[in-house]
Chain A
Amino acid sequence: MTHNEYKPFLAEIKDVIKHTDKEYTFRLTYEGAVKPGQFFEVSIPKYGEAPISVCGINDGTVDLTIRRVGKVTNEIFAHRAGDRLFLRGPYGNGFDVGSYKNKELVIVAGGTGFSPVRGVVEYFARHTQDIKGLTLIVGFKTPADILFREDFAVWKDKMQLILTVDQAEEGSSYQVGLVTDYIPKLSLKNAETAEAIVVGPPVMIHFTTLALLKAGFREENIWVSMERKMCCGIGKCGHCKVNDTYICLDGPVFNFTKSRELID
C-alpha cells in the first residue's frame, strides 16, 4: 500500500523566538534526517498548509522561521510553546554542507531568505576548522527588520560578517547599502575556487550572481535556493514548476549553471 504522504504528523512547539512583530522562529519537535534548505509543509487543519524552510537543526528539534503574511501564518502566530502544529516533510534537496568543506565560502542572503541557509552558517560556525574562510553578507530592509541578532553577535568572531540594511535613519550605527555593494570588496585567497550561496528575492539573486561572476567566481561554484509556491511539496500540484524542473523535487537548491536556465 502506498504511504499517504499528504497525512501530516503533530509536532510540539518547544519555543517561540520573536525576532520582529512579523517574524518568529518556532522550535518544533522533529526526530529524523533533515538538511538545511529543505522545507516542511506546516499546517493548521481548517486553515491550510504553508511551505516553510528549515532554518535550524538541533537535537530532536527543528527551527522554522515564519513570516506572518497570510491566513495560515496568521493562525500559526496564535500558537505558543506547548501547542502543537502539523507538519509533513522534509522535502526538497537542501544544501549539502559537505560540498563546501575545506573551501572558501561566501554566503549572501536577503531578509527571510537567510532562513534556508542559516543551517549552513551555523554548521561552519560550530566547525570553523572545516572551512578555509567564511564570509556572510546579510541584508535587511531597515534595522527594525533584522532577524537573528543573537546569532550575529555570536558569529561575528567566527567568520567575516557583513550586516547591512537598505536604509536607516541618519546617525544609525548600521552599514547602509545593498548586499551587492560588498561583493567587489571581498578579500578572498582565490575567487576561482571559492564557493558562493545566494538566497533571497529573485531580483536580489539576479544582481548578486552577476556581481559574483564579475568578482571572478565560477558559475559552477555558485548555488542558489529558489522560492516558489510549493503547494504539495511532492511533484504533483505543479505550482512550483519552472520549465521541466519541479523546484520541490529537484530543488529548491540549484547550482547556478542550472538555475540560470530556469525561466519562469
Chain B
Amino acid sequence: MGFFLAKDGVNAVLERWRDDYLIYAPVRMAGGGPYSDTDSIQYGQIHRVEEIVYDQKSRYSFKEILLPLSQTLFFFTEDQIKEAEELKKGAIIFLRSCDLHAVKRLDQVYLQNGFEDYYYQRLRKRVKFVLMGCQKAFENCFCVDMQTNIIDTYDASLEENGDGYVMDNHCAEWESLLSKYSLRQLDVRPSHVTETNVHVEIPPGVSIDVAKSKMWDEYDGRCINCGRCNFVCPTCTCFTMQDIFYTDNGKVGERRRVAASCMVDGYTDVAGGGSYRKKNGERMRFKVLHKVYDFKKRFGYHMCVGCGRCDDICPEYISFSHCINKLGSAVKEVDGNDA
C-alpha cells in the first residue's frame, strides 16, 4: 500500500521505528571527504529524514552495517571463549536499487555458499530495507546495463515528492503505523532510472582464457593495489580472521574478522612465503572476472550491480566500466592467439 506523508509524519514514523531498530542511511560527514573542505557521503545512523542524503551517491555502501569493517567474533579470557553479543535492536537500512540487488549477492555468499554464516544470519534476519528511489543516475552509474535499476523486494520505499514524501509499503507490520501518520493513501511506484551516462557491454564468450590477454598489463603500472575499489564495492565480501590481545592485559583478547581486499598485498599469502597473483594486473583480472564472469558461472547471475563506486573512488582514475568494455576485444585477441 502507498502513502503520502508530510515531513513531520515521516519523522514520527522514524521515531517509532527507533524503538525496535537502529536506522541507517547515507548521511553527510562534513569535512570527511578526500580533499580539503569536501564532505563525504557515507552510512550513519539517522534520527530524522532531513539527515538522509538523496541528491548524491554515497561513497561507501550499506554493506558495512551487515558486514562491519572490523567485527568481533569472540572474546578470550584465559581459557574461556565468549561469543560476541548481537545488537539489541534490529536495523532498518535506507538504500538504492543497486544496493538492494547487492544484498542478494551478500546473502548468496554468506547464507548459501557452504555453511550459513552465524554472525551474518543473526543480524540479517532482523534487517529491513527501505528503498531510496533514484530520480536521476549519478556519475559512473551503470545499473541499467547490469539490470539492477529496478527492484521490488524492499520492505518499504521512501522519496520526496512535492511538499511531502511518498512511501510504498510491503511490510504488513508497518501498515497501521503508516496509516496513522500519513496524510492519505495513494498508489506509489518508486522512481528508477532508465538511462545512465556510462554503458557497459559484457561480451558473450568471456572465459578464463581472457587472462592471457595483454589488456591486463596496463594495470600492472597504473594500479597501486590500494584496495579502495573493494572496500567501497557493495558486493565485495572478503575478510581476514585476526586475533589480537590487549596490550594492558595480554591474557585477554579478541578474534575478529576484518574486511580484506583481493587487490592488496598479502591476500593470497600461504604459510612459508608462497603467494599467488603477484602483479596488480593479475589482481585486476581476478576481480573483474569475479564481478562479471565467474560469480555468474557459480551462482547464475552477475556479481557487479553497476553502482560505479569503484570508478568514483579510484585514486589512479582506473575505470572498472571501461575495463569491462575492453573485454570484447580481449576475447577476440585470445581467440586469435589460439587459432
- Chain A interface residues toward B at CB < 8 A: 1-8, 43-50, 67, 69-70, 73, 86, 201-202, 227-229, 231-232, 234-239, 241-244, 246, 248-249, 261, 263-264
How far is it, in angstroms, between the C-alpha of A238 and the C-alpha of B264 when the chains are bound?
13
Given A237-B260, A243-B289, A263 and B211 contact (CB-CB distance below 8 Å): yes
Task: Assess A229 versus B270: contact at CB under 8 Å? Given A244-B297, A249-B114.
Answer: yes
- The verdict on A264 contacting B276 (CB below 8 Å), with A69-B271, A236-B239 known, is yes
Inter-subunit contact B237/A236 (CB<8 Å): yes
Q: How far is the CB of A156 from chain B (nearest CB, A)?
A: 28
Chain B residues with Cβ under 8 A from A228's Cβ?
Answer: 268, 270, 276
| Interface residue? B186 (CB, 8 A) | no
Q: Which residues of B contact A238 (CB under 8 A)?
A: 237-239, 260, 262
What 0/1 pattern do residues 244 to 270 of B give for CB contact below 8 A with A? 110000100101010010100001111
| Given the contacts A2-B122, A243-B289, A237 and B114 also touching, CB distance less than 8 Å | no
Q: Is the CB of A232 within 8 A of B241?
A: yes
Residue of B nearest to A10 (CB): B79
Main secondary structure of the interface of A (DSSP, over half): loop
Bound complex: CA A239 to CA B241 (Å): 11
Q: Quick check: B113 and A5 within 8 Å, CB to CB?
A: no
For the complex, give the distance between the alpha carbons of A7 and B116 in Å.
Answer: 13
Q: How far is the CA of A228 from the CA of B267 in the complex (A)?
A: 10
| Contact for A244 among B118, B238, B295, CB less than 8 A | B295
**Are B255 and A234 in contact, CB atoms less than 8 angstroms apart?**
no
A2 CB contacts on chain B under 8 angstroms: 116-118, 121-122
Contact B118 A5 (CB under 8 A): yes
* B250 CB, min distance to chain A CBs, angstroms: 8
Closest 6 pairs between A and B when the two form their complex, measured CB to CB: A235-B114, A238-B238, A46-B253, A244-B294, A45-B76, A264-B276
Per-position 1/0 for B157-172, Cβ under 8 A of A: 0000000000000000
Seen from chain B, the residues whose Cβ lies within 8 Å of a Cβ on chain A are 73-74, 76, 81, 83, 109-110, 113-119, 121-122, 208, 211, 237-245, 250, 253, 255, 257, 260, 262, 267-274, 276-277, 282, 286, 289-290, 294-295, 297-298
Bound-state CA distance A45–B256 (Å) is 11
Chain B binding surface, main DSSP class: mixed
Please tell me if the beta carbons of B271 and A73 are within 8 angstroms of each other in the complex: yes
CB of A263 within 8 A of CB of B208, answer: yes
Seed contacts A2-B118, A243-B294; 11 additional CB < 8 Å A-B pairs: A45-B255, A47-B243, A48-B241, A67-B271, A70-B271, A229-B268, A229-B269, A231-B239, A237-B240, A237-B260, A244-B297
Most buried by B among A7, A43, A244, A261: A244
Contact sample, A vs B, 28 pairs, CB 8 Å cutoff:
A2-B121, A3-B118, A4-B119, A6-B118, A45-B81, A45-B255, A46-B250, A48-B241, A49-B243, A69-B271, A69-B272, A70-B271, A86-B81, A227-B270, A228-B276, A232-B239, A234-B115, A235-B115, A236-B109, A236-B114, A236-B239, A237-B239, A237-B241, A239-B238, A246-B113, A246-B114, A249-B114, A261-B208
Q: Are B240 and A231 within 8 A (Cβ)? A: yes
Residue of chain A at shortest CB distance from B212: A263
State whether B113 touches A264 (Cβ < 8 A): no
Q: Which residues of B contact A49 (CB under 8 A)?
A: 241, 243, 255
